[in-house]
A and B are shown apart, each in its own frame.
Chain A
Amino acid sequence: MDKNQQIIDSAISQEYEYGFTTDIEQETIPPGLNEDVIRLISSKKDEPEWLLDWRLKAYNQWLKMDEPNWSKLNYPNIDFQAISYYAAPKEKEKLKSLDEVDPELLDTYNKLGIPLEEQKMLANVAVDAVFDSVSVTTTFKEELEKHGVIFCSFSEAVHNHPEIIKKYLGSVVPTTDNYFAALNSAVFSDGSFVYIPKGVRCPMELSTYFRINAANTGQFERTLIVADEGSHVSYLEGCTAPMRDENQLHAAVVELVAHKDAEIKYSTVQNWYPGDPKTGKGGIYNFVTKRGTCLEVNSKISWTQVETGSALTWKYPSCILKGDNSIGEFYSVALSNNFQQADTGTKMIHLGKNTKSTIISKGISAGKGQNTYRGGVKIMKGAENARNYSQCDSILIGDECGAHTFPYIDVRNPSAQMEHEASTSRIGEDQLFYCNQRGISTEDAVSMIVNGFCKDVFNELPMEFAVEAQKLMEVSLEGAVG
């Protein structure tokens, strides 16, 4: 048993592979938050008046709000005045092609294995890379334009497609939605924007990579995806950050809108720096609001997330099922190892008739990690014949970690069909010995068992990302078994 514990421990203590910093000229504004800072951000982005007003309104609402404390997360108060709200790689001119991107930056993305290069054309992935707060480059713009697909940085969209932004910004996640969403609305610096026109099946996966580089900087990006009638898009985001002793704040907002017969598939592989494995020092505080609206009939939104990083994760990708026959899905793998804490889940709000939701949540706790599933299913009065299936499984590795499940169910229409399954298991000594006896090392056995446990979720990811997620899981679990 002790030997196994040692192996688990050494596996868990695997170093974070993306912890390098990039030495690049940065333009950062001093820490602190007030109206002038917001004006400064807005002017740096050359924003129209209406957007500045929108930000200021959000800021004033935020001032009146309290930081939420209902989660199971345990962390010291965040000093919002100690954070810098804007950092950007210094650029000379507007970048037109990859050749013009700072080579240091490209090198960083290469280290991350991000498919920024044209060679990745084969992989059919268009990438928008957000470095600290600013979107650096978007590949395959032309190819996408042929299909009428808009995929660009949020700032660009504000200038080039103001009517769409104006119409949808805040329509799914209002500025007042919650504390972190309000903060994001006030200070967001960039992010990604996607518009898929009527009847178009987006010809490639769209992908954004987020990277926090600068110290003492928060990252507040905003993503908006609008899928027009009968369209289809699959979108993936990935996240990494350098190792730093201080905690860094990430508070993003993602809004999805699916019109009639449209489908949005949104996948996340989150691997922010989780903090020092031995002391728990540093790491990203990840407070994210993600929500999609199935606005019209027969629309579908599917969230898939693999959350392996961050010191704290506070995240509940949700679906508002407004259109009749609309479908919401949530597939999640959340890993808490060492000192990581995750409080994550989803909310499915059924408004339309014959709406259907599926929730598959897989929580993995190792080391001293604490993993909480928090999910809500709401069947409103008008949601005739709504259906929900929820499955929440937890697996424990070692005996110092914890798993918690909080399913909230609120049914206001008697025709609803609800199904809920939950399980908690532990990787047993007998299982590990059985694998050992077949020549499989304890480390490989743990990752094999965990991957088996996560299979239903990994299967939802686009192929190449599923492989990536599996590898990531292995790395994140290294040392997890003893």
Chain B
Amino acid sequence: MLEIKNLHAGVDGKEILKGISLTINPGELHAIMGRNGSGKSTLANVITGRDQYDVTSGSVTYNGVDLLDMPPEDRALAGIFMSFQYPVVIPGVNNTYFLRTSLNAKLKHQGLNEINAADFMRLIREKLKLVNMDEKYLSRAVNDGFSGGEKKRNEILQMLTLEPALSILDETDSGLDIDALKIVAEGVNNFRNSERSFLAITHYQRLLEYMKPDRIHVLIDGKIVKSGDMTLAHELEEKGYSWLES
């Protein structure tokens, strides 16, 4: 589904990703771990098409299609979703309206009818329950005044509503309290199926315990230096990253 080959990318001439190769098949959940500043969010941003990052070489394909030529909204419409490490505040824009606009963009892209306000409310109420979120967040502006954890839950609410094929979760666990983490992880787990793929970026073993990733990759200075299964996560928890540095 997602195939990254020898990807080099950076900002303003400074290389951040230094040759990343990674393949995620349908139904798989991969995790990426790595120090602060190692390039995890950069990878997520390059996959989703943020303009400020320049790809200098390598390729990213999604279901066989070259992603790098597509504008970010087309990548989103093609089924790629990112839960932001730092969700953005949009003052004045109602949270429900935003999400409905987003869903309608997707429905329209798929040649389906847009969803009306009433049907959408019914849908969103169900999704709210899945992340144990109060309805009052619907009437507020997008992420405006939301606490750190509320923002993260709002991201997952969006994911569950938009039903993307590939979800990139950039430190969705950071900022969530213990109970919330469990709820969100369960939400994601219930959402998993044989078609949907995930790339979860995290610093903590706890999330991985819940999510049971198919594969774990360690990113150091823009390169994947080691890949493995859950035992790798345990090893990292114990020893840190320095033993992996060359």
* Chain A contacts to B: CB under 8 angstroms: 1-4, 425, 428-431, 433-442, 444, 448-449, 452-453, 455
Contacts and interface: CB of A to CB of B under 8 A. Distances in A.
Contacts of B72: 433, 436-437
Contact of B92 (A3, A428, A453): A453
A445 B84 CA distance: 18
Interface residues of B, number: 32
Contacts of A440: 73, 101-102, 105
Interface string B46-79: 0011111000000000000000000111001100
Interface string B133-170: 00000000100000000000000001000100000000
Pick the 5 closest A-B CB pairs, nearest first.
Answer: A452-B92, A436-B72, A438-B102, A434-B88, A452-B93
B91 interface: yes
B30 interface: no
Contacts of A438: 76, 98-99, 101-102, 105, 158, 162
B1 to A, nearest CB: 18
A454 B232 CA distance: 52
Nearest to B48: A437
Nearest to B164: A439
Given A433-B51, A440-B101, A452-B94, 19 more contacts: A1-B52, A3-B51, A4-B51, A429-B51, A430-B88, A431-B90, A433-B50, A434-B87, A434-B88, A437-B48, A437-B84, A438-B99, A440-B105, A441-B73, A442-B73, A448-B97, A449-B92, A452-B91, A453-B92
Contacts of B158: 438
B199 interface: no
Contact of A3 (B71, B89, B91, B102): B71
Nearest to A2: B51
B40 interface: no
A107 B51 CA distance: 46
B71 A455 contact: no
Contacts of A444: 101, 105
B82 interface: yes
Interface in B75-118: 76-77, 81-82, 84, 87-94, 97-99, 101-102, 105-106, 109
Contacts of B98: 438, 448
A444 B76 CA distance: 15
A203 B109 CA distance: 44
A435 B82 CA distance: 11
Contacts of A2: 51
B176 to A, nearest CB: 20
Interface string B200-228: 00000000000000000000000000000
A429 B99 CA distance: 19
Contacts of A452: 90-94, 141
